[in-house]
Structure 1
């Protein structure tokens, strides 16, 4: 035994033996690292980690997903594409990635009409989405579209000054409807004067009309509701839209006046007729929703006795809000003459009932501005709008899953940081350069 130890010590003192042991340890470490690895993202913006929305979208896809990337091995974007898709693969074990060189199969490239810069095909069952943009936002939106079994159709009524789906004004819905389409909704417009009956399989949207509905148009909507059709209705203060019969059918009353909220003024909102909300009911549409939402020029709602509908106040104005019926000038205060109503009261309501063998769903909101281009990105406005549409379209899996935004889209500096940066770039650095140049000049002149 002692002799064995003696020879072992002799071998360890040999340089070649040490080198062999070192190489063996390196090879074993590499083998273990290849089979078992740990990734920790230490970047400030978590640039090497998927956003929560992306992971939630992946979890909606229970079956295997195949991603086929048509890109040349020599393309400069190949590494960026691989790094992005590998993040998805690490979060879904049954996701496979296939790379195809377009130059090796030109016939297939022509059949698929592949763009010159390459494209990415995402396949899930018999559904396919194709994208040409290399970004987490584009991939996640494509995954969300794949996850929908059907693309719900929503018809926006036109002809009464409603908000435009494709308009370029701040009062239109271009940004919001674009995101609805990207998430899988099919959006169309509907003229009631050219329609004899409404299909209850579609979702009807009334988007803040400015003009009076004709009696025949109102009758079409009432017939649609009586047969179990789903509805989203955005209304406004002082709206003379001729839909009182629709109010009565739903058991809802639009309160007179415009909502004034002192809580909004504490958030440095200049307008008195803006309401902020962070009080949401325990409801499927607002489950786990805590973001502050902003409602410019909203009408308050009131629930009338109606045994047929199950009603929930999804969003409520706070205790510092009231419905102001007088002119918005001077010092405003709540009037106790019976015409005004003090908060809390509903701003958005959800109604349900069993009709025609299914659960009929209706949303009525006392404001349509909160999802317009001017206000959609304020607080939780966009998330709330998505929740209302997904709940009414009966696709509750997507409630709370938003479209991801690009990382590091803007640089936010505090006032102090801005002053420091300005002093550094405009005073300190130029001063140092000037001092150094002066010193060199002086040494050369008097040296």
Structure 2
């Protein structure tokens, strides 16, 4: 009876009921607020993850062990862009989500003109990013630019990549289709490497400040003295990227011997790659485990590649990087028409076309990468699949910057809705006829029911 009395009294007393409801609501709100301060949960539900950073950017942020300072010189209102500070703040908040010690400071270049002049600011909205005692200016803002800037600042030391020149080799800063500068070289510069040419007919030795030496296919024979300088560079532990095409070695035979490599003549034939390309294109799709190929899952293409064969030698550790043509072969001659396997002369696949070599020398680790193809990084072909990404990974590893080998960017998903002609007609008819008829029918039904009532 007592329980029933209080129960009835509770439901009949509106003041008591409302008071308890308000108290419960306040307790719930306080509890949710407390949990929100202790646990942060975010989820990007946009179709193409436009409110999240690429995995490559997140990986770069993980490599930054110290704080990052970003100073933005922007007015409170821009005539063309409006609230430019909000645009920049919202964008950089994506980075702060993954790295809490990114400090963002805004300075009005009109009110603090002295600071703007001292920082050599040229444009409204210009940013200065500082990390580990180094800084860079940015006048444009997007994920690729900001992440590349952080990647450059993350380099532990200044790195110089030199490339052999003077014999018709591909140039790392060249713009011809044959050269490597437009895509590959530009990417290396973007990532903080300095590029210099090296003519061994003029230089006494390969400079000691060369982090990596790149050798591409010479069109003229190297003089014996030039080859001697290359061998001395290898003997003292220099790091090397050798892109060797299916052509005569032109004085580099002794370098192949030094690296315990056999470079038989012929090109790789890959007729069953399934990529609808020439059979003389070797396709790399899966890669053995190595620091260079860590998390790398992009297809790479090698036009007219040559095979690499290693000699068994305890002096070097050989690691296969790219193997192709599992159902293909090595042909001594370029095929004319449809390629056909010749049992007497051709060598069946799979074929190794890229290899990493390591050894300990002079109390340090020496690293060398040999690729049986230089065209895959040429301006004409570097944009195919993950060619340039793999090339940059190779240079990062050779330069001892393997911590900067990042995950590859995901493909941007198409956010457009594509409709067939029939679907468009259905939507149009439904909007113009179906919806009005439906509303009219509902109105008639309501009128009919009311009339009967």
TM range (shorter): 0.7 to 0.9
**Corresponding residue SS for 2:346:** coil
Q: Which of 103, 112, 117 matches 1:110?
A: 117
Q: Which residue of 1 aligns with 2:58?
A: 55
Q: Which residue of 2 aligns with 1:11?
A: 15
Q: Distance in 2 between matches of 1:386 and 1:188?
A: 16
Deviation per CA, 1:395-434: give whole Å up to 9, x if none.
11012345x58956x7789xxx58x26x788x9999999x
Q: Distance in 1 between matches of 2:430 and 2:152?
A: 56
Q: Which residue of 2 aligns with 1:438?
A: none
Q: Which residue of 2 aligns with 1:40?
A: 43
| Structure 1 residues 130 and 327: CA distance shift in structure 2, 3 A | closer
Q: Note if contact 2:270-2:329 (Cα within 8 Å) is conserved in structure 1.
A: yes
Q: Note if contact 1:199-1:229 (Cα within 8 Å) is conserved in structure 2.
A: no
**Corresponding residue SS for 2:90:** helix
Q: Distance in 2 between matches of 1:169 and 1:26?
A: 68
| Structure 1 residues 74 and 26: CA distance shift in structure 2, 3 A | farther
Q: Distance in 2 between matches of 1:324 and 1:7?
A: 92
TM-score by length of 1: 0.84
Q: Note if contact 1:259-1:321 (Cα within 8 Å) is conserved in structure 2.
A: yes
Bigger mean CA offset, 46-55 vs 321-330: 321-330
Q: Which of 267, 274, 287 matches 1:258?
A: 267
Q: Which residue of 1 aligns with 2:352?
A: 346
Q: Which residue of 2 aligns with 1:439?
A: none
| RMSD, aligned α-carbons | 3.3
| Structure 1 residues 172 and 9: CA distance shift in structure 2, 3 A | farther
Q: Which residue of 1 aligns with 2:200?
A: 192
TM-score by length of 2: 0.83
Q: Distance in 2 between matches of 1:60 and 1:191?
A: 36
Q: Note if contact 2:266-2:306 (Cα within 8 Å) is conserved in structure 1.
A: yes
Q: Which residue of 2 aligns with 1:172?
A: 179
For residues 116-155 of structure 1, the aligned pairs below 5 Å read 116-155=123-162
| Structure 1 residues 6 and 244: CA distance shift in structure 2, 3 A | closer
Q: Note if contact 1:263-1:276 (Cα within 8 Å) is conserved in structure 2.
A: no
Q: Which of 387, 390, 402 matches 1:381?
A: 387
Deviation per CA, 1:108-160: give whole Å up to 9, x if none.
11121112222112222312222111111111111111211113211011111
Q: Distance in 1 between matches of 2:32 and 2:365?
A: 58
| Structure 1 residues 29 and 204: CA distance shift in structure 2, 3 A | same
Q: Note if contact 1:258-1:325 (Cα within 8 Å) is conserved in structure 2.
A: yes
Instruction: Structure 1 unaligned segments of length 5 or more: list them.
Output: 436-447
| Structure 1 residues 110 and 325: CA distance shift in structure 2, 3 A | same
Residue 344 of structure 1 and its aligned partner are, at CA, apart by 1.6
| Structure 1 residues 424 and 214: CA distance shift in structure 2, 3 A | farther
Q: Which of 228, 239, 242 matches 1:219?
A: 228
**Corresponding residue SS for 2:13:** helix
For residues 37-436 of structure 1, the aligned pairs below 5 Å read 38-75=41-78, 76=82, 77-173=84-180, 174-202=182-210, 203-264=212-273, 266-269=274-277, 271-337=278-344, 339-402=345-408, 417=418, 420=420
Q: Distance in 2 between matches of 1:407 and 1:103?
A: 39
Residue 393 of structure 1 and its aligned partner are, at CA, apart by 0.8
| Structure 1 residues 314 and 37: CA distance shift in structure 2, 3 A | closer
Q: Distance in 2 between matches of 1:351 and 1:121?
A: 40
Q: Distance in 1 between matches of 2:301 and 2:261?
A: 22
Deviation per CA, 1:156-179: give whole Å up to 9, x if none.
111111122333333322211111
